[in-house]
Amino acid sequence: MVLMTALSCASEEDKIPSPPVEVTFTLINESGEETTSFRQGEDIVFDYRIINYSDEPVTWYFDSLFNYRNLFTVFRKATPNAELSDEGRVKKGSPHTPVLQRDFRWGRVIPGKGEMTIRMSWMGDMDKTHMFDNWQIEYHKRDLLPAGDYFVEFDQEIDFALYKNLNTKFKIDFEIN
């Protein structure tokens, strides 16, 4: 099982409790299994969740540094050289383009024992896609990734109404063979 879990960072005020949530990020193959190894020609599903373990609703602010525009950015590993300025990584991009939303709510609520999910497909399969609050995305036209070594990496900062902020950095190495 490939599971990345983010924990809250210490705050200046120890009186503010940590959020009762877990943030997970996994890669899923076409069989619905979590994995870091994909067959050439297989689609990749990116699965991101904020899970509320408390019985009470938890409010978080979408306009914080929670920037889903940068979610699921894929890089191909490469041998560093003079022509490659990005330390041995070639940006392949993300699967999606955010769509402008008119939503004037300041906060988002995760119900007690509930979760907020974002699921996207590298190849843009809408049947495999799920966006919280029915938010819209548009997929880039993507080719299948060729065989090789890759990683997906992004940072998040989530501001909660009654809890410490949650700062996370996700990186999952994966291969296509």
What is the predicted pLDDT for the residue at 61? 80
8 A C-beta contact, residue 157 and residue 64: yes
What is the predicted pLDDT for the residue at 172? 97
What is the predicted pLDDT for the residue at 42? 95
Q: What is the pTM of this model?
A: 0.83
What is the predicted pLDDT for the residue at 162? 92
8 A C-beta contact, residue 154 and residue 170: yes
pLDDT tens readout for residues 66-94 = 556 678 999 999 887 766 666 778 999 88
Secondary-structure breakdown of the chain: helix, strand, coil percentages, each rounded to the nearest 5: 5, 45, 50
- pLDDT averaged per 10 residues in sequence order, the chain, 177 residues: 52 78 96 97 95 95 59 88 71 79 69 94 94 80 93 89 90 97
What is the β-pairing status of strands 148-160 and 107-110? Answer: unpaired
Q: Where do the domains of the chain lie, and which CATH numbers do they carry?
A: 19-176 (2.60.40)
8 A C-beta contact, residue 72 and residue 152: yes
CA 51 – CA 71 distance, rounded (Å): 17
8 A C-beta contact, residue 163 and residue 58: yes
φ, ψ of residue 128 in degrees (nearest 5): -100, 0
